[in-house]
């Protein structure tokens, strides 16, 4: 699906304000790993000494490489091709909601490659916002999310995975805008049918944060 969505040169169109918010959440400098990097647009804003990106989609990895990143194809839920404690920061932005069945395996690998005292930054669609929850829920008649199994996340479900590993987590809610560039996932008639409900719910939920961010410090 992401190979198809990234058929052009961009997966999402992020306004400068959203890119600045994302950058501010990620500690700058040092060795950064960008998990599920997409087209590399966000990573391209980082000031790091070493920026490594990977994605399960070959098309996304090649776009990230075209933006100057050391990018490779890898699966976050399998063994990662990096040494233990190789990174000062691991950023995992908008990826975990695709990997609900594999969180244990993913966290084990992210924890292994992050150095003690390093930061794990997670950003995800916030299921506490009804608009986000219902437009992403699998089987929802007003689903607009492109994949049929990418439910938004309640941060309360994620935090135990971090606390169980001794991480100190800080949770914030934030609004990040990023429009999907390839829009033709659903046929036109479906989009027209859903539009009144989607727009009504968007109006009702206006002002509520669409994402949450967790910045979690690994014990030193």
Nearest-Å Rg of the Cα atoms of the chain is 17
Q: Do 11 and 5 contact (CB within 8 A), yes or no?
A: yes
The interface region with ligand SAM, picked from 93-101, 109-117, 136-144, 166-174 by CB under 6 A, is 93-101
Q: Number of residues in contact with ligand SAM, rule: CB under 6 A?
A: 18
Decide if residue 42 touches ligand SAM (CB under 6 A).
yes
Place of tokens 């961010």: 213
Does residue 36 belong to the site contacting ligand SAM (CB under 6 A)? yes
CA-to-CA distance for 74 and 72, rounded, in angstroms? 6
Would you say 26 or 60 has its CB closer to ligand SAM?
60
Q: How many CA atoms lie within 13 A of 6 on its CB side?
A: 21
Q: Which of 99, 122, 152, 201 binds ligand SAM (CB under 6 A)?
A: 99
Residues 2-31 that bind ligand SAM (CB under 6 A): 2, 12
Residue 75's CB is within 10 A of a number of other CB atoms, namely 16
Q: Binding pattern to ligand SAM, positions 72-91, x when CB under 6 A?
A: ---xxx--------------
Q: How far is CA 56 from CA 1, 78, 95, 104, in A?
A: 11, 10, 11, 18
Does 212 interact with ligand SAM (rule: CB under 6 A)? no
Q: Which residues bind ligand SAM (CB under 6 A)?
A: 2, 12, 36-38, 42, 55-57, 60, 75-77, 93-95, 98-99
């Amino acid at each position: 699906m992401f190979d198809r969505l990234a058929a052009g040169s961009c997966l999402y169109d992020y306004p400068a304000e959203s890119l600045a918010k994302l950058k501010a959440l990620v500690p700058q400098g040092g060795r950064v790993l960008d998990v599920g990097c997409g087209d590399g647009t966000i990573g391209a804003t980082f000031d790091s000494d070493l920026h490594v990106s990977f994605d399960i989609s070959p098309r996304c990895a090649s776009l990230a490489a075209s933006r100057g990143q050391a990018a490779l194809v890898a699966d976050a839920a399998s063994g990662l091709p990096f040494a233990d404690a190789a990174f000062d920061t691991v950023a995992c932005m908008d990826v975990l909601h695709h990997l609900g069945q594999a969180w244990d395996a993913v966290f084990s690998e992210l924890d292994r490659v992050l150095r003690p005292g390093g930061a794990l930054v997670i950003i995800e669609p916030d299921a506490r916002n009804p608009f986000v929850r219902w437009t992403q829920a699998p089987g929802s008649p007003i689903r607009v999310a492109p994949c049929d199994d990418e439910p938004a996340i309640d941060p309360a479900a994620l935090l135990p995975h971090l606390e169980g590993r001794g991480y100190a987590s800080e949770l914030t809610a934030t609004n990040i805008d990023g429009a999907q560039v390839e829009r033709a996932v659903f046929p036109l008639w479906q989009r027209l049918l859903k539009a009144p409900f989607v727009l009504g719910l968007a109006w009702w939920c206006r002002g509520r944060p669409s994402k949450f961010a967790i910045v979690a410090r690994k014990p030193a």
